[in-house]
Amino acid sequence: MRSTAILTALVGLSACAGEGALDAPRVGSVDLTAPKTTIAVGEAVQLSAFARDVNGLAITNAKFTYTSSASAVVNVNASGRAIGVAPGAATITATSSGFVSPPLAIGVTAGSVAAVVTMQANTFTPSQLTIRVGQTVLFDFPADQHNVIFAARTGKPADIPTTAGQAVTRTFGTAGTFPFDCTLHPGMSGQVIVNP
């Protein structure tokens, strides 16, 4: 009798667990849009991803991962913020529960910014770049906090204090090599080489 009661309880728990699994909507398709598909170097756009279930209904709590076909041209972070890094073109996709959106093409034109340094996984990307005197570099800060502290050199630009979720520019008016570090994350280093 006791064995039967335990077995009945276990079957009931399994059924409840199964019902919960059935209640979770299954992704059937993913779409990705952008407010504009041509941006300048240093310009950012917020992408919007949408998931629909197998019946075509919107899934409001879907999670997405974003991928760029050429992160050296268009870099996209975990929240879907894309920034133009260099002139050219790239395609971005969003993925949810194994379903991938159709690729979204983003073109990047030359702008007033000569180069962009992005920060992901406690790494400056690129860690080394070359520009000319008088050109500007944009440092794109993610949601995580970082700083940019330049080594003591004649003509170095002002340091960038601890920052998150912003883009900050620095113009290099003197030729030379300018190393920099994020002092919040040991080993996170880079350098700007400025040619005459």
Residue 102 has pLDDT above 90, yes or no: yes
Supply 91's token pair: 């395609």
Domain final residue, candidates 76, 109, 142: 109
Question: How many CB atoms are located within 10 Å of the residue 75 CB?
Answer: 25
Do 102 and 42 lie in one domain? The reply is yes
- Tens digits of per-residue pLDDT, 86-96? 999 999 999 99
Do residues 43 and 111 lie in contact, with contact meaning Cβ atoms separated by under 8 Å?
Answer: yes
* pLDDT for res 121: 87
* pLDDT for res 2: 52
Do 31 and 93 lie in one domain? The reply is yes
Residue 53 has pLDDT above 60, yes or no: yes
Domain of residue 161 covers: 115-195
pTM: 0.78
Number of compact structural domains in the chain: 2
Domain final residue, candidates 82, 109, 136: 109
- Tens digits of per-residue pLDDT, 121-173? 899 999 999 999 999 999 999 999 999 999 999 999 999 999 999 999 999 99
Domain final residue, candidates 109, 137, 153: 109
* pLDDT for res 21: 45
DSSP string, 83-109: EE-SSEEEEEEEEETTEEPPPEEEEEE
Residue of 137, 142, 151 whose CA lies nearest to 122: 142
* pLDDT for res 14: 44
Residue of 102, 124, 105 whose CA lies nearest to 115: 124
CATH number at 70 reads: 2.60.40.1080
Q: What percent of the chain has pLDDT over 70?
A: 88
Do 100 and 167 lie in one domain? The reply is no
